């Protein structure tokens, strides 16, 4: 708590020494990825979160180029999908992502899901380590992993992910996993950070919105920022992109944080990572 931010360019430090914008935007289920990426970057966002499975990496790259924002100022994330796990297959998958994006390097690439039953995520991780050594990828991380799976990556390769992107919102707060990340120097990044709007009408969120003059969505995004998470809300509308960015001119009280903590139900919107894939 108490994380101070000045604007949407606020960054978090990765354990590699590099930084990542704390607030970005996601391209899941975004049809006009080129247009949305261009608009978001022109509006001031600097992190674009995509994935091979989203089917819009080409648009992601087009939007980056059309925005006029220098490439070195844009943090680009994409992900290796489940059916491309394994050492050689991952190498090919990342080269294909680079080609679709039209980029020489990716700032951060994630293993999208552990798919533990397949037993390939360590080999996939080794491939990402090799790509990082070659300079094709700047930083490497995971998505939807649990602490034991992260520890296995570290034990078998000596390399810890810089980040774990997980479902996280007021009804699924992942406190134990966030604590495990912090002990290992790993950033927690929240996907589906607004929880599908399920908490918008909750009296706790509504009361904070009234006090601050902000929307329920802005209150929840501010909560993510103040608990130290990176966060990637999604919006296809210019108004939504602007609203999601406008969260750095107010703060939650300690009592409000305690009240939001009481909203945790362990309720997932997405798949259970222990059984998906």
Q: What is the pLDDT of residues 52-65, one digit of tens each?
A: 999 999 999 999 99
How far is residue 165's CA from residue 146's CA, in Å, rounded to a whole number?
11
Return the structure tokens found at 187: 């950033």
**What average pLDDT does the segment 220-249 reach?**
96
Is the pTM higher than 0.85?
yes
- 235: Cα within 13 Å, side-chain hemisphere: 22
Cα–Cα distances in Å, from 258 out to 43, 83, 170, 219? 33, 41, 12, 14
- Residues pairing with 141 in the sheet: 110
Residue 73 CB neighbour total at 10 angstroms: 11
Q: Which has the closest alpha carbon to 24: 5, 11, 6?
A: 11
Return the structure tokens found at 85: 């796990």
Q: How confident is the model at residue 6 (pLDDT cuts 50, 70, 90)?
A: very low
Catalytic residue among 25, 45, 54, 145: 54
Locate all alpha helices (DSSP H) within the chain, ordered by sequence.
Answer: 33-43, 57-67, 87-101, 121-134, 147-157, 175-184, 203-212, 216-226, 238-245, 254-261
Q: Which residue has the tokens 């607030």?
A: 23
Residues 17-43: pLDDT tens digits?
999 999 999 999 998 999 999 999 999
Buried-state track 114-126, b at ≥16 Cβ within 10 A, e below 16: bbbeeebbbbbbb
54 is catalytic: yes
Domain 15-197+229-235, second-level architecture: Alpha-Beta Barrel (3.20)
Spacing of C-alpha 37 from chain mean position: 15
Residues 114-137: pLDDT tens digits?
999 999 999 999 999 999 999 999
């Amino acid at each position: 708590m108490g994380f101070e931010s000045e604007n949407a360019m606020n960054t978090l430090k990765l354990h590699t020494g590099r930084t990542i914008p704390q607030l970005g935007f996601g391209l899941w289920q975004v049809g006009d990825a080129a247009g949305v990426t261009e608009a978001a970057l022109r509006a001031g966002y600097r992190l674009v979160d995509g994935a091979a499975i989203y089917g819009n990496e080409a648009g992601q790259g087009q939007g980056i180029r059309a925005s006029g924002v220098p490439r070195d100022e844009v943090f680009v994330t994409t992900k290796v999908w489940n059916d491309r796990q394994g050492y050689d297959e991952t190498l090919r998958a990342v080269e294909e992502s680079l080609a679709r994006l039209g980029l020489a390097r990716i700032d951060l690439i994630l293993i999208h899901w552990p798919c533990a039953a397949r037993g390939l995520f360590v080999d996939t991780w080794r491939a990402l380590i090799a790509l990082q050594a070659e300079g094709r990828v700047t930083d490497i991380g995971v998505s939807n992993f649990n602490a034991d799976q992260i520890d296995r990556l570290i034990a078998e390769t000596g390399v810890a992910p810089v980040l774990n992107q997980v479902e996280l919102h007021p009804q699924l707060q992942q406190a134990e996993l966030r604590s495990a990340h912090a002990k290992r120097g790993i950033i927690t990044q929240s996907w589906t950070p607004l929880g599908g709007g399920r908490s918008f009408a909750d009296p706790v969120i509504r009361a904070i919105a009234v006090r601050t003059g902000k929307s329920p969505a802005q209150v929840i995004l501010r909560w993510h920022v103040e608990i130290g998470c990176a966060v990637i809300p999604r919006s296809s509308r210019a108004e939504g992109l602007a609203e999601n960015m406008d969260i750095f001119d107010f703060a939650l009280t300690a009592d409000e944080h305690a009240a939001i903590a009481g909203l945790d139900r362990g309720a997932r919107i997405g798949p259970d990572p222990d059984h998906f894939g």
